[in-house]
Amino acid sequence: MAAMGREWLADAVMYEIYPQSFADSDGDGVGDLRGVIGKLDHIASLGVDVIWFNPCFASPFVDAGYDVSDYLTIAPRYGTNDDLAELVARARERGIRVILDLVAGHTSIEHPWFQKELNAAGPDPDGDRYIWSEELPERTWTRDQPGTPAWVRSPGPRPGFYLKNFYDEQPALNFGWVTRPRAGGQVPLQDETDQPADLRIARPGDDSWRDAIDAPGPLRNRQALRDIIAHWLGLGVAGFRVDMAFSLVKDEELTQGYVETVALWRELREWLDVSYPDAVLIPEGAEPRTGGPLAFDADFFLVIHDAHASLFNNHYAGRLPFQAPREPFFDAEGRGSTRPFLDAWAAARDGHPDRPIILATADHDFDRLRCGPRTPEQLGAALTFLFTWGSIPCLYYGDEIGMRYLPGLPDVEGSICDPGYNRAGCRTPMQWDDSANAGFSTAAASQLYLPIDPDPDRPTVAAQQDDPSSTLALVRHLIALRRATPALGARASTEVLSEDYPLAYVRGGSHLVVVNPRREPATLAVEGTTPIWTSGVEPAPGGLRVAGFGHGVLAMPA
């Protein structure tokens, strides 16, 4: 495997599509694959070359498709497997690959695997695919939906409880455990006083429900991952972004630092290298460093996590417990800092200096790039940074026209998963034109998946299509400039000259990028540069003057 990962990924620009909200071809108010097929020319016009879809598989949609009931079938509301195959083929004609979201750690309670075990009198003789305990374990796993128990009482004939990963309707798949209760007891990870009086607590030593990682159930699930991956690669997809990729082997966060889960993915990577050598695996988050070869082809700096949040998030979707209460660097008042991001970037590259890192404009789980008081004028600096920093950029649908995060929307398919955290505002329908429903759907407005932005001045593709001053034109220009200038891509070096306002860095030793996210002008003591593309960046005595919200790319002196 190349040091930069799959060679094509190192040079990629990605485009994330939340399929429910992109384009509705059949008028039912929900986006679908044929709608995407009809918009491939727009996607290609941006210059992106990878589409990443959020889950498209059959699902009851308790959690927007992240609760899968059939991994091998496209959800009927999106179309058919043949529709996906056609989309992949038509995208390939335009030089665009397609990757899917793989939910590896849990399923829906409606999955036949779960229904079989739920309706059994006891363990599956071939090995349980899920994690069951006849009594409520004292020792629980903590990676679960905030504010709710990690164990759920069985609603069927099987006695006891099952372990979930997120919502109650998302039972955790069984990939085994690495810990056992110690003699003399353990400190419980959930407060027993919060449990109803009729729940019995399993005592230390009663750990028959904990399978080893090589037990029959976990081995069945490892094979199932191969089967699922091979099925979709066989239909032409180029790889997978793996949801909760490091949630598989339980209790690793308390002991070994995800050694066994990474080893599981490394085993899959070795198989892919032989059977599907061009396929990529991308994790949700950064891959833990366990001392061996890396299993995934890139790290992903998630929007909700500190490295990304410290730059862009105004927290209009809310603030999660693990998020620091800080102002973002890309803030008009200039109260933020790049230090959290730069530290995280350096840590991810430590020992792996060529490691690709994906950095998105936004995604389906938090704020959009344009949220709260952030105006279209402010987007130029942010987009310039995102397409020139040296990451693999991922453009979230609608960010190419500056769609807004809409606060206060209703809970749709689990979008409000915490009282102070609303994801619906970043999942609203794509705004294509000024026709009914902004061109997203011919359905009645009341039947739409989520409401359209009600602002009469909402941005649309049609309005920006031929406007050279638009956000859409800016995005197209930045991607084209990146393509034409290897020094701006993911393979070239990055040297930070100023980490304050303005942020300035040299790419590939030859190109200076300057961005000033705040309202007040700034100066940079660099002379002899030649503008390549700038907005608000002018020569000044001793260097450059960068206007408020100014940004640009300049050639360094030879």
> Over the stretch 396-433, which tens digit does the pLDDT of each residue have?
999 999 999 999 999 999 999 877 889 999 999 999 99
φ, ψ for residue 480 (rounded to 5)?
-65, -40
Structure confidence by residue, pLDDT tens digits, 335-372: 999 999 999 999 999 999 999 999 999 999 988 999 98
* Percent of the residues in the chain that have a pLDDT greater than 90, as a whole number: 83
Confirm if 507 and 494 have CB atoms less than 8 A apart: yes
Say yes or no to pLDDT of 200 above 60.
no
Calculate mean pLDDT across residues 515-540: 97
**412 neighbors 361 (Cβ within 8 angstroms):** no
- Confidence at residue 2, expressed as pLDDT on a 0 to 100 scale: 37
**DSSP secondary structure letters along 93-130:** HTT-EEEEEEE-SB--TTSHHHHHHHTSSS--TT--SB
Determine the pLDDT at residue 417: 82
Give the residue among 550, 545, 521 at the shortest CA–CA distance from 535: 550
pLDDT of residue 146: 45
Task: Give the CA angle between residues 460, 461, 465 to the nearest 5°.
Answer: 125
Instruction: Write down the pLDDT at residue 206.
Output: 60
Ranking 123-132, 288-297, 321-330 by mean pLDDT, the lowest is 321-330
Which has the minimum average pLDDT: 146-155, 273-282, 289-298? 146-155
Whole-number pLDDT of residue 525: 97
Q: What is the pLDDT of residue 194?
A: 39
Q: What phi, psi does 446 have (nearest 5°)?
A: -70, -15
> In which band, very low, low, confident or very high, does the pLDDT at 208 lie, cut at 50, 70 and 90?
confident
pLDDT for res 420: 81
**Whether residue 330 has pLDDT greater than 50:** yes
Q: Left, alpha or beta for 541 (phi > 0: left; psi -120 to 50: alpha)?
A: beta
Tens of pLDDT, residues 144-195: 444 456 899 999 999 999 999 999 999 999 999 986 544 333 433 333 333 3
Cα three-residue angle 521-361-476, rounded to 5 degrees: 80
- Return the pLDDT at 139: 53
5-48 per-position pLDDT tens digit: 588 999 999 999 999 999 999 999 999 999 999 999 999 999 99
Highest mean pLDDT among 66-80, 177-191, 251-265 belongs to 66-80
Stronger pLDDT, 256 or 133, i.e. the higher one: 133
- pLDDT exceeds cutoff 90 at 142: no
Per-residue pLDDT, averaged over 538-558, amounts to: 96
Long-range contacts of 351-354 (CB under 8 A, 24+ apart): 351/289, 352/289, 352/294, 354/3, 354/4, 354/491
- Which domains can be identified in the chain, with CATH numbers? 7-103+298-482 (3.20.20.80), 106-174+179-212 (3.90.400.10), 493-555 (2.60.40.1180)
What are 349's two structure tokens?
Answer: 């590259």
Query: Is the pLDDT reported for residue 321 higher than 80?
Result: no
Please tell me whether the overall predicted TM-score, pTM, comes out greater than 0.75 for this model: yes
For residue 373, report the phi and psi dihedrals to the nearest 5 degrees: -85, 0
Mean pLDDT of 371-379: 93
- pLDDT score for 418: 79
